[in-house]
């Protein structure tokens, strides 16, 4: 079975010189504390985040300048540096938000998606084992891995391996070195439209398949890769999708040589999203229903066939997605922002961000958590309606068509997780109309970004909270951008062409038709430039 994967260099550079994982061509030094390592429950081999120097055996191949031997790749190099250690970390499935008396738990090597009561599951880490190392240790360890090609730590997800899937063998990991995405200082947008000087956009869509879904899918497909090697009954992996989940699933399964099956709602996703799973070789079913209908079908199918469910009902995905929260803290040199705004559809991501921030606080990396905001499209807003009721009642809705198609979900699987995260972070839920989200997207694009409609939903929430004074001008605020704007180019074409019915498209910038002669071009340019006096 193939376990190879595409490898891409990280986009961030290391910020500090660390005593932990030294480059392979340098000598190791003595540590103040033993480094975190992993022991698989089914394998006697582990991987040292602080690899020793290469062998001095004169018969060994000569090392390359990077420290890798001439006849090996980075996975071979990682395998060569494994060793047995005394300290271990572990994780297991438990019922979500279970009480202290609950004894129900499952190994991550079991194929299980729901608790005995039918509720959601959560991945629970051995926090006491992690607490044996202080916050300063974890900060320095995570920082030291950024920008490296050391397998698997070149990934923004797997650079936090001890907090994600501590027991997986590195050889089973399927990674495209995802994560490490840009935290963009939205200087002009913040100043021009909001009067803010500390506004940031976390571009999670600058990833392997163009969305934040890669962060979770590398974890899920890696675990499936492990399960198949353990001879568990897993023939393939399947998901229902509004686009981005299917793209991530198909890419990572293709890299690992694992069959993938995708249920897509017919005529409800963009061509750019549809072509990704097709190009990556997935078995794609276009079904005459919406996402909620696809989700119902895939759950029924996976209960009968040996197909592993890859939707965010599966809590493994959230372990990867939570690393984006940790990354934000890293990029601020471990200072906590005041607000983080996340678009919400199936609602797993808002809980993932909460979980990432909570772990950092609990393990001493930071002293507090940011306030969270979840923003929904008004055409698919069950969480918003629940929030407006004072969290008293949740009721699924029939999701109407929205340009933010990836969050066009009326019956979100992770509703309980989202409510928990928002209650415990003193959070807020907002909504955006179609015109509001498209205008916000166009405004952001006009200042140098190129965002998706879902990010427009999050920016709409920010605009409303700024206008009401809830978010102050000086508050450090992060808006999470979940997908690359190129996936939604048709919506941008329609907006700037003013072809959207009943929408003013106030910030449209259509091309100007002009005759092919010098005088006509000069007339048009003089008129345009006359209104563009530099404002210094």
Q: Are 498 and 510 in contact (CB under 8 A)?
A: yes
* Residue 85 pLDDT greater than 90, yes or no: no
Instruction: Choose the weakest-confidence range: 32-36, 266-270, 450-454.
Output: 32-36
Rounded to whole angstroms, the Cα distance separating 204 from 189 reads: 18
* Residue 144 pLDDT greater than 80, yes or no: yes
3-state SS string for 272-341: HHHHHHHHCCCEEEEECCCHHHHHHHHHHHHCCCCEEECCCCCCHHHHHHCHHHHHHHHHCCCCCCCEEE
pLDDT band per the 50, 70, 90 thresholds, residue 442: very high
Given strand 339-343, what is the order of strands in its sheet? 183-185, 199-203, 477-481, 339-343, 371-377, 428-432
Identify the structural domains of the chain with CATH numbers, from first to last: 73-211+315-535 (3.40.50.1100)
3-state SS string for 395-435: CCCCCCCCCCHHHCCCCCCCHHHHHHHHHHCCCEEEEECHH
* Residue 122 pLDDT greater than 70, yes or no: yes
Mean pLDDT of 76-81: 76
Residue 321 confidence (pLDDT): 97
* Residue 17 pLDDT greater than 50, yes or no: no
Report the first-to-last Cα separation within the chain, whole angstroms.
Answer: 61
Mean pLDDT of 204-210: 94
Helix (H) or strand (E) holding 480: strand 477-481
* Residue 214 pLDDT greater than 90, yes or no: yes
* Residue 535 pLDDT greater than 90, yes or no: no
Report the candidate in 236, 245, 258, 180 with the shortest Cα–Cα distance to residue 4: 258
Tokens of 232: 């568990």
- For 178-212, b/e burial (b = at least 16 CB within 10 A) is bbbbbbbebeebbeebbebebbbbbbbbbbbbbbb
Residue 311 confidence (pLDDT): 84
Residue 100 confidence (pLDDT): 85
pLDDT tens digits, one per residue of 131-140: 999 999 999 9
Decide which of 5 and 506 is more confident: 506
Percent of the chain with pLDDT over 90: 74
Residue 79 confidence (pLDDT): 77
pLDDT band per the 50, 70, 90 thresholds, residue 266: confident
Mean pLDDT of 97-103: 90
The backbone region for 140, taken as left when phi is positive above 0, alpha when psi lies in -120 to 50, beta otherwise, is: alpha
Q: Are 218 and 249 in contact (CB under 8 A)?
A: no
Mean pLDDT of 170-176: 96
pLDDT tens digits, one per residue of 448-494: 999 999 999 999 999 999 999 999 999 999 999 999 999 999 999 99
* Residue 117 pLDDT greater than 60, yes or no: yes
Report the candidate in 485, 428, 423 with the shortest Cα–Cα distance to residue 454: 485
* Residue 23 pLDDT greater than 80, yes or no: no
Mean pLDDT of 335-340: 98
Q: Is the sign of the CA dihedral 414, 419, 425, 428 positive or negative?
A: positive
Q: Classify residue 190 by its DSSP letter.
A: I
Percent of the chain with pLDDT over 70: 86
Report the candidate in 445, 178, 216, 464 with the shortest Cα–Cα distance to residue 341: 464
Helix axes 434-445, 453-467, angle to 10 degrees: 100
Rounded to whole angstroms, the Cα distance separating 109 from 290 reads: 32
3-state SS string for 46-68: CECCCCCCCCCCCCCCCECCCCC
Rounded to whole angstroms, the Cα distance separating 477 from 200 reads: 6
509 by Cβ neighbours in 10 Å (0-12 / 13-18 / 19+) ranks as exposed
Q: How many CB atoms lie within 10 A of CB 473?
A: 13
Mean pLDDT of 423-445: 98
Rounded to whole angstroms, the Cα distance separating 399 from 502 reads: 19
Q: Are 225 and 2 in contact (CB under 8 A)?
A: no
Decide which of 58 and 102 is more confident: 102
pLDDT band per the 50, 70, 90 thresholds, residue 211: very high
pLDDT tens digits, one per residue of 150-170: 999 999 999 999 999 999 999
pLDDT band per the 50, 70, 90 thresholds, residue 249: very high
Rounded to whole angstroms, the Cα distance separating 417 from 427 reads: 13
Rounded to whole angstroms, the Cα distance separating 458 from 94 reads: 31
Residue 82 confidence (pLDDT): 66
Helix axes 415-424, 348-362, angle to 10 degrees: 40
Residue 6 confidence (pLDDT): 36
CA 183 to chain centre: 13
pLDDT band per the 50, 70, 90 thresholds, residue 66: low
Tokens of 533: 């006096």
Sequence-ordered list of residues with C-beta below 8 angstroms from that of 401, at least 6 positions apart, any chain: 268, 379, 408
Instruction: Choose the weakest-confidence range: 210-224, 269-283, 314-328, 478-492.
Output: 269-283
* Residue 318 pLDDT greater than 90, yes or no: yes
Tokens of 267: 């005529």
Rounded to whole angstroms, the Cα distance separating 284 from 278 reads: 7
CA dist 57 to 22, 54, 323, Å?
21, 9, 39
Mean pLDDT of 52-63: 40
362 by Cβ neighbours in 10 Å (0-12 / 13-18 / 19+) ranks as middle
Place of tokens 């999701």: 399
pLDDT tens digits, one per residue of 279-307: 999 999 989 998 889 989 998 999 899 99
Q: Are 319 and 164 in contact (CB under 8 A)?
A: yes
Residue 536 confidence (pLDDT): 55
Average pLDDT, the chain: 87
Residue 68 confidence (pLDDT): 78
């Amino acid at each position: 079975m193939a376990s190879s994967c595409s490898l891409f260099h990280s986009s961030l550079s290391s910020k500090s010189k660390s005593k932990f994982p030294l480059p392979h061509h340098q000598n190791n030094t003595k540590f103040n504390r033993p480094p975190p390592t992993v022991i698989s429950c089914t394998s006697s081999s582990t991987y040292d985040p602080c690899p020793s120097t290469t062998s001095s055996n004169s018969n060994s191949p000569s090392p390359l300048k990077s420290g890798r031997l001439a006849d090996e790749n980075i996975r071979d190099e990682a395998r060569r540096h494994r060793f047995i250690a005394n300290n271990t970390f572990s994780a297991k499935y438990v019922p979500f938000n279970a009480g202290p008396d609950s004894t129900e738990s499952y190994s991550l090597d079991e194929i299980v998606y729901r608790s005995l009561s039918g509720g959601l599951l959560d991945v629970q880490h051995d926090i006491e084992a992690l607490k044996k190392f202080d916050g300063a240790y974890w900060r320095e360890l995570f920082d030291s891995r950024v920008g490296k090609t050391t397998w698997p730590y070149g990934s923004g997800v797997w650079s936090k391996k001890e907090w994600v899937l501590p027991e997986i063998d590195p050889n089973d990991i399927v990674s495209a070195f995802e994560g490490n995405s840009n935290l963009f200082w939205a200087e002009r947008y913040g100043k021009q439209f909001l009067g803010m000087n500390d506004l940031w956009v976390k571009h999670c869509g600058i990833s392997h398949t163009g969305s934040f879904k890669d962060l979770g899918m590398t974890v899920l497909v890696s675990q499936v890769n492990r399960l198949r090697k353990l001879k568990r009954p897993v023939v393939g992996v399947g998901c229902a999708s509004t686009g981005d989940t299917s793209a991530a699933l198909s890419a990572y399964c293709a890299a690992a040589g694992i069959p993938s099956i995708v249920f897509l709602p017919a005529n409800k996703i963009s061509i750019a999203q549809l072509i990704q799973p097709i190009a990556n070789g997935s078995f794609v079913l276009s079904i005459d229903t919406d996402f909620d209908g696809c989700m119902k079908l895939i759950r029924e199918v996976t209960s009968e066939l040996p197909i592993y469910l890859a939707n965010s009902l599966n809590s493994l995905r959230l372990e990867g997605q939570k690393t984006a929260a940790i990354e934000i803290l890293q990029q601020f040199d471990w200072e906590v922002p005041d607000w983080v705004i996340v678009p919400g559809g199936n609602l797993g991501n808002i809980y993932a961000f909460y979980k990432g921030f909570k772990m950092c606080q609990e393990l001493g990396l930071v002293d507090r958590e940011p306030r969270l905001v979840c923003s929904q499209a008004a055409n698919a807003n069950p969480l918003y309606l629940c929030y407006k009721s004072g969290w008293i009642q949740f009721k699924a809705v029939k999701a109407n068509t929205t340009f933010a198609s990836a969050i066009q979900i009326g019956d979100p699987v992770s509703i309980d997780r989202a409510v928990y995260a928002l209650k415990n972070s003193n959070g807020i839920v907002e909504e955006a109309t179609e015109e509001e989200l498209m205008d916000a997207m166009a405004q952001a694009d006009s200042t140098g970004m190129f965002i998706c409609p879902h990010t427009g939903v999050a920016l709409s929430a920010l605009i409303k909270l700024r206008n009401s004074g809830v978010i102050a001008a000086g508050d450090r605020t992060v808006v999470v951008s979940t997908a690359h704007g190129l996936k939604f180019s048709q919506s941008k074409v329609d907006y700037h062409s003013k072809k959207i019915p009943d929408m003013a498209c106030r910030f449209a910038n259509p091309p100007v038709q002009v005759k092919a002669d010098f005088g006509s071009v000069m007339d048009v340019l003089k008129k345009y430039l006359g209104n563009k006096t530099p404002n210094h």
